[in-house]
Amino acid sequence: MKKLTWILLLVALTLNATTERKHYVTRVYDFVPAPGQFANKIPYFYAGEPRDSLIKRAADAICGRVVIEEYERMDGTLVTDTTLEICPSMVSLGSYGGYIVFGFDHPVVNVPGEYDFQIFGNAFQADNSSSSGGSCEPGIVMVSEDVNGNGIPDDPWYELAGSEYNHPTTVHGYEITYYMPDENKVKTPNGNFITDTTYIRWMSNDPDPALREGYIDRLSFHTQPYWPLWYEGETMTFTGTKLRNNYVNERKPGDPNDYFVLHFFDWGYVDNRPDYDWTEPLTDSIQSKCNLGFKIDWAVNDAGQPANLRKVDFIKVYSALTQKCGWLGDTSTEVRGGIDIHPDAELPPLTGDVNGDGDVDVADANLLINMVLGSTKANSVADVNGDGSVDVADVNTLINIILN
């Protein structure tokens, strides 16, 4: 059997249009990593490069790829095998607030009650830990719908409320500012691993006064600049929701070495648990230990109320912890791509969109009134309140929708 060629194709916007929806990430809109030990390294970035280089490398890392293998059988028949690589590489988001914004070649439809999409990280279970811990660097997920139809993520964002959303130590409205370090200053040795404990200063509005300022330590095994080289300002500020620290030093008595374990949160975060990839049967064991994905149903507005989104066009993930673990350094979320779990799902009708133009407005109310009066034949969307009939009650419901 003679192997002829291996061709690696990056799935990008330049590919020919197709009616078949790709179930994996196809584009990166923005990538803003916060300072951290993997800044300028995952992915690589060099001083002086255009900003677009960082975005492109992020897309190369997390967008789906297709491997096409062509080979010849003994009988001379040419065979082509196509294999999807869901997670070609990864990006590191850095310390708290660092983020990436990406999407698919289609909207992700909200299938009520089901997991709608998956985002992959690199969390794993520790061998010497309790069943609830390992390497877990949770990132919060935000979603947005392209309401204005311009194809760019400039519409309102909604947080997916994970298991920690209402925890008493979760900080909503958190803000942190990082300060550019002096790369030429004299380093302050401390221990066998850390080379500078006052490297990148930060300040925050944490309600706990003891957590309002600190430093990102520079480690001896990551010596590149931790300040993003593409960033021109002397401060970086991020806002969002901050989760409680999840690390425990499980060093055994008599052992001189620290053994840091980052414990899982229950559900709803990227890089928080080992990922289920939806290609194997969903067993009880997988359900108990894995990240199964994300539901659009979890989306809430700034007041914590359900957003009731039918679909999302843009997804954002950001690092959710301001935490450092001794010689392990700062905690940063990693992202390895994602999939739409049901890419062929059809978008359900918009409640109140009686005329089917994609908006709910006075034009729908006028048409519905004509339907109630009998001058126009009613359609399935006209039953706005879902009681099985089209009458004045539907008009009242529609007017409330429009006013709200």
The three-state secondary structure class of 395 is helix
Q: Is residue 77 part of a domain?
A: no
Asked if 280 and 244 sit in the same domain, the reply is: yes
CB atoms within 10 A of CB 329: 23
Asked if 111 and 214 sit in the same domain, the reply is: yes
Contact 124, 324 (CB under 8 A): no
Residue-wise pLDDT tens digits, 105-164: 999 999 999 999 999 998 888 765 556 877 899 999 999 999 899 999 999 999 999 999
Tell me how many helices (H) and strands (E) the chain has: 4, 23
Alpha helix locations (H) across 283-391? 284-289, 362-373
Asked if 299 and 218 sit in the same domain, the reply is: yes
Q: Which residues pair with residue 247 across a beta bridge?
A: 262
Residue-wise pLDDT tens digits, 30-51: 999 999 999 999 999 988 899 9
Residue-wise pLDDT tens digits, 63-119: 986 566 666 777 777 766 655 555 568 999 999 999 999 999 999 999 999 999 999
Q: Output the average pLDDT for the chain.
A: 86
Structure confidence at residue 329 (pLDDT) = 86
Q: Is 223 exposed, middle or buried (0-12, 13-18, 19+ CB in 10 A)?
A: exposed
Asked if 163 and 194 sit in the same domain, the reply is: yes
Q: What is the mean pLDDT of residues 379-386?
A: 80
Q: Which of 340, 370, 394 is the last residue of a domain?
A: 340
Q: What pTM, to 2 d.p., does this model score?
A: 0.83
Residue-wise pLDDT tens digits, 318-345: 999 999 988 888 999 999 999 999 999 9
Residues with Cβ within 8 Å of 56's Cβ and at least 6 positions away in sequence, in order, are none
Q: Name the nearest CA neighbour of 291 among 307, 274, 279, 316.
A: 274
Q: Across 130-139, 249-258, 311-320, which has the greatest mean pLDDT?
A: 311-320
Asked if 188 and 154 sit in the same domain, the reply is: yes
Q: Is residue 258 part of a domain?
A: yes
d(CA 126, CA 17): 44
Asked if 251 and 398 sit in the same domain, the reply is: no
Q: Is residue 10 part of a domain?
A: no
Contact 147, 307 (CB under 8 A): no
Q: Is residue 55 part of a domain?
A: no
Residue 28, pLDDT above cutoff 60: yes
Name the pLDDT band for 360 (thresholds 50, 70, 90). confident
Structure confidence at residue 364 (pLDDT) = 81
Q: Is residue 306 part of a domain?
A: yes
| Number of domains observed in the structure of the chain | 2
**CA Rg, the chain, in Å?**
25
CA angle 8, 10, 11 (to 5 degrees): 130
b/e per residue, 104-119, with b = 16+ CB within 10 A? bbbbbbbbeeebbbbb
Asked if 29 and 165 sit in the same domain, the reply is: yes
Alpha helix locations (H) across 333-376? 362-373
Percent of the chain with pLDDT over 70: 88
- Widest distance between CA atoms in the chain: 86
Q: Which amino acid is at 354?
A: V
3-state DSSP percent of the chain in helix, strand and coil, to 5: 15, 30, 55
Q: Is residue 268 part of a domain?
A: yes
Asked if 243 and 306 sit in the same domain, the reply is: yes
Asked if 310 and 398 sit in the same domain, the reply is: no
Q: Is residue 70 part of a domain?
A: no
Asked if 367 and 301 sit in the same domain, the reply is: no
Asked if 158 and 279 sit in the same domain, the reply is: yes
d(CA 309, CA 303): 15
Residue 4, pLDDT above cutoff 70: no
d(CA 51, CA 53): 5
Asked if 326 and 368 sit in the same domain, the reply is: no
Alpha helix locations (H) across 234-356? 284-289
Contact 62, 119 (CB under 8 A): no
Residue 14, pLDDT above cutoff 50: no
Q: What is the mean pLDDT of residues 302-308?
A: 94
The three-state secondary structure class of 328 is helix
Cα 171 to the chain's mean position, in Å? 19
Q: Give the dihedral sign, CA 346/350/355/359.
A: negative
What's the domain range around 399? 362-403
